[in-house]
A and B are shown apart, each in its own frame.
Chain A
């Protein structure tokens, strides 16, 4: 029994020291360098609700990616049919994934083009109208559509990662949640609105020609020329904050997109000292840009970002070398953010912010301070009460409670768990149950003593019986917590994690560690009367 006592001491003391070492980096940042070499440990991370920062959930509107995919197919199809000399009348996208067209001429010829080159589009129906015109409805193959959706989400995740990297946030967390949601956690961020603008922007850069044959006034009244669109240039007056919108009549066809960008940087224009964004194209882009400018000298080329016209300069001459610029009365910050999103690339589909929570650093500090103060007061009260009621044995219970907290913190650190407000509730419940476990043991020992048992027998029997009670109650709660973790989300999970860890630590400290202390006192120190 005595040797056994020694071994138990070594095991318990060892685990305690280990837990303390794991927890140490959380309390103090000033640890010697060798410490980190021995203990590869992390801090207990505080959730954004405690620490301050921003939590965002975005939903990728993947259906829009399917839409623009089908839109591209439609444009290619028109060009293809025209090249082959097949007369095509109406050609439109319907819903997000269908194309409806009216063709005439050699039926075999256009059927061949459709089936060979456009295999991703399956024929829904084809009905003959009069005069040899056929009306054909095509639908995007569902596997292909899934593929488009999936790659849009993957790409969105990648692009957002890039943008946040370039924005410079310490320890950002960007993960996919479910199938089409992206969870973003940015601790300690100071200007959440700016980050949202940066992340949420689609940043689709397009170059389109201005439709100079068409009549803008007529178009505004609703007589839009075929394959032309109206987009606006927004101009915000910096003094009044009023918004002026200038309409532009543009050719629908996009000549070039931001995909061919190699770099985007902020530069300062010397004349008015205004910042602008200098673009540099890659080799393909440079060639394409040279071609486009060469073929459209004296015409106006509009530079469009997310359906906003930024400028529409007249092309003076063929531009070689692959450089262009976006001007538009930015301040330095705006120009800088614009350069970031252009460098990181466009989102393949728009994203919608479905949840945003940001907590300012001062409020986070307030919560921590209040939390720590009320925890300390409660802990001190419980500790005093235990000693008051159970005398010397109360001290044993207090040791168990302190160890319990140390173990929970150490475990949270090693699992890199994040402590949030619901998590603290789980912690509080587990500490409440730890108090209960100690009370159960002490009450049981008292009962046994009352029935006339010796101190040793009372301790043995008390622990044996109370252990069953504690095990059953803790296991029941543990099982419930595991289910909450498995089937719950965010906050419910945060609660379940700390509760589970707390309960396991509880069984260890309340049952085993205190038992050792009692055994030590009665066997080694030879205590004959129990102060309980």
Chain B
């Protein structure tokens, strides 16, 4: 079976003047949304606070829980329905001292109030503000250093700094777009979403390397052609693979999105955006950056 007939020749790179604006607009939209929201909406994992997930065996109205929390004097607590029937999330997003005591007080007063309703405390998370901040800065550092490593490794393997730069540019693009999507959809940025960002980084760089690899091969074969044609040919030659791989992964993620339940939902949504961005950025961010760099610096030197 063949998805893409041999000899297809779409002019991908020729559209780059148009797609530059698409990318710029998407980045503008993402950064704009993050800026307007005053940064990402950090969950308990990063901002610190208390999160309690409870479930009752019988029907309980959400306002009863709100009432119970208000009477005990916990004004900052937010309650929302979560997942299945009679399951709720209580959240206090406050980075203060004595969160532990607050968590205990909330649990005790709920146990007291809903005595006959089989209250089950399914999950408790208490994160001090310092811990969340530590996690944030350490993760950021780890990602930045891994980018440097990618830059060096790719530049070495492809014998040109431009390929490393192109790969990193695509990664930065994908991260911004994904964070933008998180911000626009007003999702809470928590640990699972951080795992998604890491996954997208892996997927995106993999996609970029596969096409760069073909370019590296074709440069030797097509000595007389200019680099733009080489890129176009390479992207076309690997188009079948790109569609198959991205399609398969997308299929899995779509299943997660529709059938995975509430916890997976945010996770899958972010992944969908990241996957699209990761595939797009290989063709329209990584490749143009290599071409641009080549035009500006490398060729001039040769002449």
Contact = CB atoms under 8 A, between A and B. Distances in A.
B138 interface: yes
A491 B260 CA distance: 21
B154 A377 contact: no
A381 interface: yes
Interface stretch (B12-20, B26-34, B180-188, B242-250): B242-250
A284 B53 CA distance: 50
B252 A382 contact: yes
A370 B260 contact: yes
B124 A355 contact: no
A495 B131 contact: no
A184 interface: no
Contacts of B6: 447, 450
Interface string A437-455: 0011001001100100000
Contacts of B297: none
B251 A476 contact: no
Interface stretch (B35-43, B203-211, B219-227, B288-296): B203-211
A492 interface: yes
Most chain A CB atoms below 10 A, which of B53, B145, B146, B217: B146
A488 B157 CA distance: 26
B276 interface: no
B172 interface: no
B145 A487 contact: yes
B243 to A, nearest CB: 10
A360 interface: yes
B244 A443 contact: yes
Contacts of A440: 210, 241
Contacts of A492: 138-139, 142, 194, 198
Interface in A327-358: 352-358
Interface stretch (A85-93, A136-144, A152-160, A464-472): A464-472
A480 B199 contact: no
B249 A473 contact: no
Interface residues of B, number: 70
Interface in A395-426: 421-422, 425-426
A426 B203 CA distance: 11
Contacts of A465: 217
B56 to A, nearest CB: 13
Interface stretch (A109-117, A203-211, A427-435): A427-435
B147 to A, nearest CB: 8
Interface in B257-280: 259-261, 263-264
Given A355-B128, A436-B206, A477-B205, A363 B256 contact: no
B260 A357 contact: no
A193 interface: yes
A362 B138 CA distance: 32
A422 B202 contact: no
B134 A363 contact: no
Contact of B131 (A354, A363, A381, A388): A354
Contacts of A491: 135, 191, 194-195
A480 B244 contact: no
Interface stretch (B59-67, B73-81, B99-107): B99-107
Contact of A422 (B145, B195, B264): B195
Contacts of B131: 57, 354-355
A385 interface: yes
Contacts of B126: 353, 355-357
A497 to B, nearest CB: 12
Given A476-B209, A491-B195, A358 B123 contact: yes
B122 A193 contact: no
A359 B192 contact: no
A435 B150 CA distance: 22
Nearest to A494: B195
Contact of B153 (A357, A422, A475): A475
B54 to A, nearest CB: 10
A489 B139 contact: yes
B157 A381 contact: no
B150 A356 contact: no
Contact of A193 (B107, B149, B201): B107
Contacts of A196: 100, 104
A388 B248 CA distance: 12
Given A362-B122, A381-B251, A443 B240 contact: yes
A490 interface: yes
Contact of A472 (B104, B124, B128, B213): B213
A200 B126 CA distance: 14
Nearest to B112: A241
Interface in B129-159: 130-131, 134-135, 138-139, 141-143, 145-147, 149-150, 153-154, 157
A447 B237 contact: yes
A360 B125 CA distance: 11
A326 to B, nearest CB: 23
Contact of B103 (A356, A425, A481): A356
Contact of A489 (B121, B138, B245, B255): B138
Nearest to B3: A389
Given A363-B53, A480-B146, A385 B153 contact: no
A499 B203 CA distance: 12
A150 B254 CA distance: 52
Interface string A487-513: 111111001000100000000000000
A483 B146 contact: yes
Given A356-B126, A432-B249, A472 B139 contact: no
A214 interface: no
A482 B152 CA distance: 14
Given A362-B122, A363-B123, A381-B251, A484 B213 contact: no
> What are the 9 tightest A-B residue pairs by CB atom distance, in nearest-first order?
A354-B128, A483-B146, A488-B142, A487-B142, A425-B195, A473-B209, A356-B126, A363-B122, A422-B195
27 contacts: A196-B100, A356-B124, A360-B120, A363-B123, A389-B1, A421-B191, A426-B198, A429-B203, A433-B203, A436-B245, A440-B210, A440-B241, A443-B238, A446-B2, A468-B213, A473-B205, A475-B153, A483-B145, A483-B146, A483-B149, A486-B145, A487-B141, A487-B146, A488-B138, A488-B142, A489-B134, A492-B139
Given A357-B123, A486-B142, 8 more contacts: A422-B194, A436-B241, A469-B214, A477-B202, A480-B201, A488-B138, A491-B195, A492-B194
